[in-house]
Amino acid sequence: MVFYIKRTLTLDMDLDELMRRLFELYPEGYTDGSRDPFFVLISTVMSHRTRDDVTYPAARKLFERFSTPEEMVGADVEEIEALIKDVGFYRVKSGRIKEISGILLEEYDGEVPDDMETLLKLPGVGRKTANCVLAHAFLKDALAVDTHVHRISNRLGLVETKTPEETELELKKIFPQKYWKHINLLLVKLGQNICRPISPKCEVCVLNDMCPKILL
């Protein structure tokens, strides 16, 4: 059985060293392979309550058939449903994809907005999705916090927060801005492979000597 002893917050942690180790572990981890804003937006909407290894194959399948807002609006919702049926709540998300595409065409000339306030007006888009679009599609200094980032930030003792929104605000206070757009992809990969919600692989984690939880 695994037990943990929690120390105090490690506010004196070497954040440059932490990021260096993550960059070294996941050299491909701070780019997701696509900077198309529409793909980033739609795939992130699809990812809600769905694993990445399910989301992105479904998103690629969808975009092989419909790759622009014009094509999405013209598609039958049943065909979109069939293409993304592996993701959670695919029927709801199919309607939302068409709705978002219609709004982009009607109000933004078919372009994905590149500012937080406007992105948050789109249906189904919260701060995490908006930050992902800003960071990964537009390379802006945005910090997206999902369940992985929230969990790992608290485990590492970087923050003591109850919600992802609180975590975003606190991480921005301690991390240099140059790291903000990389944190999500790096910590998501760490959370999927090593710092898992249950049975984390602390013994092989590159951050184990920096983590305030002692494996006994």
- One of 93, 98, 128, 189 is an active-site residue; which one? 128
Q: Considering the entire predicted model, what is its pTM? A: 0.86
Contact 182, 189 (CB under 8 A): no
Q: What angle do CA 125, 128, 130 make, to 5 degrees?
A: 55
User: What tens digit of pLDDT does each residue of 99-123 get?
Assistant: 999 999 999 999 999 999 999 999 9
Active site residue 146: yes
Structure tokens at 128: 């995490």
Digit-by-digit pLDDT tens for the chain (216 residues) are 344 444 444 455 799 999 999 999 998 765 555 689 999 999 999 999 888 889 999 999 999 999 999 999 999 999 999 999 999 999 999 999 999 999 999 999 999 999 999 999 999 999 999 999 999 999 999 999 999 999 999 999 999 999 999 999 999 999 999 999 999 999 999 999 999 999 999 999 999 999 986 443
Three-state secondary-structure class, residue 138: coil
What CATH number does the domain located at 37-137 have?
Answer: 1.10.340.30
The third-level CATH classification (topology) of the domain covering 4-30+142-215 is Endonuclease Iii, domain 2 (1.10.1670)
Dmax (CA) of the chain: 58
Each residue's pLDDT tens digit, 138-164: 999 999 999 999 999 999 999 999 999
Q: Which of 212, 75, 96, 216 is nearest to 157 (CA)?
A: 212
Catalytic residue among 32, 93, 98, 146: 146
Q: What percent of the chain has pLDDT over 70?
A: 90
Task: Return the domain boundaries, the chain.
Answer: 4-30+142-215, 37-137
Q: DSSP readout, 70-82? A: HHHHHS-HHHHHH
- Binding-site residue numbers are 195, 202, 205, 211
Joined tokens for residue 147: 């369940």
CA atoms of 182 and 128, how far apart (whole Å): 14
Strands (E), the chain: 4-6, 213-215
| Residue 215 phi, psi dihedral angles, 5° rounding | -80, 125
128 is catalytic: yes
